[in-house]
Structure 1
Amino acid sequence: MNITFQENFNELEVRLNGEIDHHCAKGLSDSIDFKIKRLRPALLVLDFGGVSFMDSSGLAVVMGRRRLMNSMDGGVEIRHLNGAPKKIFDMAQITRYVTVKEDEK
């Protein structure tokens, strides 16, 4: 898993590339949490455009960041969700808890 961060005004964008599974979930969560606590953005954007595989550990990463952002009166938005990760999100009905911005066609 490779992640890059970009700060855009009051928004922290996290671009995810690779696979999200139980082997990388803790490190991924810790890295994102560190940036959130340091920058205190109003919106956390998780860009799933480069994610090729995700298991339930990926859902835990998203929901944990949601909890942290909610504690700081912030929000979470998911972008570029497709393929296998989208199926996992749909089955778990995560869209009830976080905003998923659909790709424009």
Structure 2
Amino acid sequence: MAATVGDSAELLDVDVDEFPGTVALVAADDRGDTNGMADAFVRDLRTGAVQRGGVADDGTRSNGRTGLLTIDASGRTVSFDSGADNLVPGDANGRTDVFTRRLR
């Protein structure tokens, strides 16, 4: 899923992988944002492609704030915490959870 992070985005957390070329970030961006909360993004610095990192396996955007974010050395796996309850089935604990997601 493609996404843009505009010039007006408030950058909240950044993690650059050890393999140069990919950056993961958490930003609050009021343009095109559907949940009104900070979201996780991953940008390929070589191609400029940006994708959301904090989504469910089927690509559904989170309905909660994304906080801390990290990306592995390959630039293909992100881990993040989120208060969303729609990223995995049955998440009804009302607490922030940690998720790991393999990027496509």
TM-score over 0.5 for the alignment? no
Q: Would you tell me which structure has more strand in proportion to its own residues?
A: 2
More helix by share: 1
Report the TM-score when normalising by structure 2. 0.30
Q: Which has the higher contact order (CA 8 A, sep 6+)?
A: 1
